[in-house]
Chains A and B, each alone.
Chain A
Amino acid sequence: MKDGLAIEAKGLRKIFDGKVAVDGVDIAVPEGTIYGILGPNGAGKTTTLRMLLGIIDPDQGERTLLGRDRPLEAAHIVGYLPEERGLYPAMTTRDAIAFMGALRGLPLDVGKKRAVGLLTDNGLADYVNKPIRSLSKGMAQTVQLFGTIVHRPKLIVLDEPFSGLDAINQGRLEYLIREEAADGATIIFSTHIIAHAERLCERIAIIAGGKLRFEGKVSDARERLRPQVRLRTRAADGAWRRALPADAEHRDGLWHFEVPVGGIEPLLKALVEGGAGIEELSIERPGLHDAFVAIAGPTAAREMEENAAEEIGAAA
């Protein structure tokens, strides 16, 4: 393991039934960071996470998890919340959390005590002895999340953790992720909802069609696009138009274009001297969504938006 990397993967490739699911993915997750894997459904996010965790072996490539070539050797310091949540319906919430901890080496009695603590601290004390089958989907998901962190792992891997949660529970989950990161855990999660990644992550990987399109800091992804200028003028035409970039678009009464290479000041001067009559001018830094569109392409972006819309519909 390179110093300071919780996960390092190079050239991961996986083929299912002749179809390439993941093709040459490189990932480097620094210790103590919150790392997001972005991509539409079917992009290869889950397969990538499964390969990182050793649930499945890659057909090609190598990976280390907390310094181990065999991910299962680090299982006791890793927590994993799979995309398809899995709990035994007859188990009580306390026992389910303790069982998941025990699988990762936490003594059962310690796990039970911590489970009660986690449930109580999160306002679920009344549910300690309730069977999983009696919980709502969101609550069961919360229980599984507690089972993922009960053994206080150094690395927490969450596959689509926000999926199926309502807005309140999504907010709680974001808070919990931040808390775990503040306690020193490394967190990697996959999502097709860009806003979560934008709010939480320091670094991201963008995967589309099984291929890695971007890997690095969120700020680096944004900086791939120049800031956007929005301009409204009193004058419809005049010499000032020559100051606008050639690819400037006029829609909804506004001019849209990137901040010119020379900077904003020469542009402003040319607009004023050219008699544009500036009514409104704003400079917006591109968001992660814009960066995603630019990096992964409009098709992947549209799929992400559709996935997110379905998600919201399902949660509602």
Chain B
Amino acid sequence: MSNVFDAAWVIARRDFVATVWSRTFLLFLLAPIIAVGFGVIISTMTEQADIQARQPNVGVLMEPDSAAAVRAANARLAHAVGAFDVPELKLIDPEDDGARQAERLLADSDSNIAVILTGTLARPTLTGPEKATQSVERVMALIIEDARRSAAMQSAGIRELPVAIRTVTTEKSGGSVNMVRHGLARIGQGIIFVLTLLLAGMLLSNLVEEKSNKVIEVLAAAVPLDAVFLGKLIAMLGVSVVGVIIWGGIAGVALLWIQDWISVPVTPAVGWPAYCLLLLLYFAANYMLLGSVFLGIGGQASNVREVQTLSMPITFAQVMIFALASAVVGNNGGTMTMIAAIFPLSSPMAMIAIAAQSGTIWWHLVALVWQFVWVALIIRVSARLFRLTVLKSASPEGFFAIFQRKRRDTPLP
């Protein structure tokens, strides 16, 4: 068996060096950083536009006092629930023929007004297309009600006092712990899923190089095919870990910068050190599980075009596995949790969610052993399938002799 690992190491070293020392690896490292940076810039630039786009603009055609009261009520509501959830108001001086003015404003695309509020605070009217009026009707009712109350209090000479709530801070509450841990579970799953989705796809085309430049025969004559598959898997895991370390380092620096915004008072159930270690181990397990499947499937492809065709169904399969693993969050000990934790391909993502929600460590030891047993099994099956279909080497015992260490040749009759 050490022969397999020695040979796998030789192949892993070659593949790792060949990948990391290539010019394209720099692009590989930079691509996510550029994408995230670009996303941050674009989202900052479009934030204001988003706020405006979230709720339709409401034109207010009311007497000045009423219009001012509505605007003040709108501002109070925006302060309480956020600008995203209240409409943008435009105060417009009313003309004599209010109905005609409203009609004209709604028809004018430059005015960017979706709905017109006319009338008085006692008898307000919303004019506009059905969907637009429905979308603001309730919130406008709330705003007008607040404006009415405010106007009534003013006319009665009652000074409006802001409500002061005394807050007593505790370290945590049962509800908040669960909420944060569910969040951590989802974040852990998301990290494993996204990284695997981005990185494991490389393995699909990994054997195409050896097949196209005929190196595969040199390898197959020198080392067991299991070692070829394992070596490639280890190499690509190494390449991915290099990427993750660099991206993680940059993300870490960014987090230090914004740490005040993201302080998390609740730890994962297993504690931060164990959670981080498990995150790394489950990423490795998930990568190797899916990677060995991809390597096996990609090994059957005879050219890059076939690999490209396979990419989409495989991405869908990954999303389905992620969906299965997602069922674990908030479902401690349920049937779905058991299924997701036992099914090998969803097990790492399910278990990281369990690590966030439950403090039992030995489950993870069992799960990791289980997952790596499946990695070995999938590699064995993939290598066997490769011999069978690509090298056209069917031993007399057939495909199901995959666990047999020593093959006995059929003696001559």
Most buried by A among B216, B219, B393: B393
The verdict on A103 contacting chain B, using a C-beta distance below 8 Å, is yes
Known: A56-B392, A75-B222, A90-B22. A70 touches B6 (CB 8 A): no
Count of chain B residues with a beta carbon within 8 Å of a chain A beta carbon: 36
Q: Quick one: closest A residue to B11, CB to CB?
A: A103
- Asked if A138 lies at the interface with its beta carbon under 8 angstroms from chain B, I say no
Q: Does the CB pair B222–A86 fall under 8 Å? A: no
Task: Known contacts A55-B391, A59-B396, A87-B213; decide if A75 and B410 are in contact (CB<8 Å).
Answer: no
Chain A nearest CB from B402 CB (Å) reads: 13
A264 CB → nearest B CB, Å: 44
Contact of A75 among B18, B223, B394 (CB under 8 A): B223
A102 partner residues in chain B, CB cutoff 8 A: 10
Q: Is the CB of A86 within 8 A of B213?
A: yes
A58 contact set on B, CB distance < 8 A: 409-410
Nearest Cβ on chain A to B12's Cβ, whole angstroms: 11
With A75-B221, A90-B22, A103-B223 as known contacts, state yes or no: A85 contacts B411, CB within 8 Å: no
The interface residues of chain B lying within 8 Å CB-to-CB of A104 are: 222
Chain A residues near B218 (CB, 8 Å)?
80, 82, 86, 100, 103, 147
Q: Is the CB of B214 within 8 A of A85?
A: yes
Within 8 A of B (CB), among A81-109: 82, 84-91, 99-100, 102-105, 108
Q: In the complex, are the beta carbons of A69 and B391 less than 8 A apart?
A: no
Q: Kindly specify which of A60-68, A221-229, A295-303 makes contact with the partner chain.
A: A60-68
Write the nearest CB–CB distance from A48 to chain B, whole angstroms: 14
Inter-chain contacts of B1 with A (CB < 8 A): none
Query: B224 within 8 Å of A by Cβ?
Result: yes
Are A16 and B392 in contact (CB-based, < 8 A)?
A: yes
- Say yes or no: is A11 at the interface (Cβ < 8 Å to chain B): yes
> A99 to B22, Cβ gap below 8 A?
no
Q: Select from chain A the residue with minimum beta-carbon distance to B228.
A: A103
Q: How far is the CA of A199 from the CA of B209 in the complex (A)?
A: 38
Contacts of B242 in A (CB 8 A): none
Indicate which residue in A69, A99, A108 contacts B409 across the interface (CB closer than 8 Å). Answer: A69
Cα distance, A155 to B62, chains bound together (Å):
100
The contact string, 1 if C-beta is below 8 Å from chain A, for chain B 1-33, is 000001100110110001000100000000000
Q: How far is the CB of A21 from chain B (nearest CB, A)?
A: 9
Name the one of B22, B214, B219, B221 contacting A53, with C-beta atoms under 8 angstroms: B221
A1 adjacent to chain B (CB < 8 Å): no
| A84 and B216 alpha carbons, distance in the complex (Å) | 10
Decide: A80 near B221, CB < 8 A? Known: A56-B391, A62-B409, A87-B213: yes
Which residues from B are CB-within-8-Å of A50?
Answer: 217, 221
- Say yes or no: B393 contacts A55, CB within 8 Å: yes
Q: How far is the CA of A88 from the CA of B218 in the complex (A)?
A: 11
Q: Given contacts A87-B213, A88-B213, is CB(A62)–CB(B393) below 8 Å?
A: no
Which residue in B213, B224, B395 is a CB contact (below 8 Å) of A89? B213
Q: How far is the CB of A17 from chain B (nearest CB, A)?
A: 8
- Asked whether any CB of chain B lies closer than 8 Å to the CB of A57, the reply is yes
Interface flag for A167 (CB, 8 Å): no
Q: Are B394 and A62 in contact (CB under 8 A)?
A: no
Is B123 an interface residue, CB under 8 A from the partner? no
Q: Are B217 and A82 in contact (CB under 8 A)?
A: yes
B406 near A82 with CB under 8 A, answer: no
Question: Which one of A57, A60, A80 lies within 8 Å of B412 (CB-CB)?
Answer: A60
Residues of A within 8 A of B216 (CB): 86
Contacts of A89 in B (CB 8 A): 213
A72 within 8 A of partner (CB): yes
Q: How far is the CB of A144 from chain B (nearest CB, A)?
A: 8
Smallest beta-carbon distance A192→chain B, Å:
19
Give the distance in Å from the alpha carbon of A63 to the alpha carbon of B410 in the complex: 10
A10 at the interface (CB under 8 A from B): yes
Q: Which of B18, B214, B393, B406 contacts A84 (CB 8 A)?
A: B214
| Known A16-B392, A90-B18: A57·B221 in contact at CB below 8 Å | no
Interface centre among B217, B219, B391 (most CB of A within 10 A): B217
Which residues in B have their C-beta under 8 angstroms from that of A62?
409-412
Cα distance A60–B394 in the bound complex, in angstroms = 11
Q: A55 with B223: in contact, given A87-B213, A102-B10 (CB under 8 Å)?
A: no
Decide: A57 and B395 in contact? CB cutoff 8 A: yes
B194 in the interface (beta carbon within 8 A): no
The reply on B407 being an interface residue by CB < 8 A is yes
Contact B213 A61 (CB under 8 A): no
Contacting residues, chain A, for B14 (C-beta < 8 A): 88, 99
Q: Which residue of B221, B395, B408, B410 has the most chain A CB atoms within 10 A of its CB atom?
A: B221
Query: Do B7 and A103 have beta carbons less than 8 Å apart?
Result: yes
Residues from chain B with Cβ under 8 Å of A82 in the complex = 214, 217-218, 221
Residues of B within 8 A of A108 (CB): 10, 13
Cβ-defined partner of A55 (8 Å) among B220, B407, B411? B220
A86 to B223: give the CA distance in the assembly, Å.
15
Closest CB-CB distance, B28 to chain A, in whole Å? 16
Q: Which residues of A contact B214 (CB under 8 A)?
A: 82, 84-86
Q: Which residues from A are CB-within-8-Å of B409?
A: 57-58, 61-63, 69
Q: How many whole Å from B409's CB to the nearest CB in chain A?
A: 4
Bound form: Cα–Cα A85–B396 in Å: 29
The residue in chain A whose Cβ has the minimal distance to the Cβ of B6 is: A105
Quick one: closest A residue to B219, CB to CB? Answer: A103
Whether B407 pairs with A88 at a CB distance below 8 angstroms is: no
Distance between B1 CB and nearest chain A CB, rounded to angstroms: 13
Q: Does B215 contact A (CB under 8 A)?
A: yes
Q: List 8 other contacts, CB 8 Å, given A61-B409, A99-B10.
A: A10-B412, A53-B221, A57-B396, A61-B410, A78-B221, A80-B221, A102-B10, A103-B11
Could you give 23 example pairs across A and B, Cβ below 8 Å? Answer: A50-B221, A57-B395, A58-B410, A59-B394, A59-B396, A59-B410, A61-B409, A61-B410, A61-B412, A62-B409, A62-B412, A69-B409, A70-B407, A80-B218, A82-B214, A82-B217, A86-B217, A87-B213, A87-B215, A90-B18, A103-B218, A103-B223, A108-B13
**Chain B residues within CB distance 8 Å of chain A:** 6-7, 10-11, 13-14, 18, 22, 209-210, 213-224, 387, 391-396, 406-412
A residues lining the B interface (CB < 8 Å): 10-11, 16-17, 50, 53-63, 69-70, 72, 75, 78, 80, 82, 84-91, 99-100, 102-105, 108, 147
The 6 closest A-B pairs by CB, nearest first: A86-B214, A56-B393, A86-B215, A103-B222, A62-B409, A57-B395
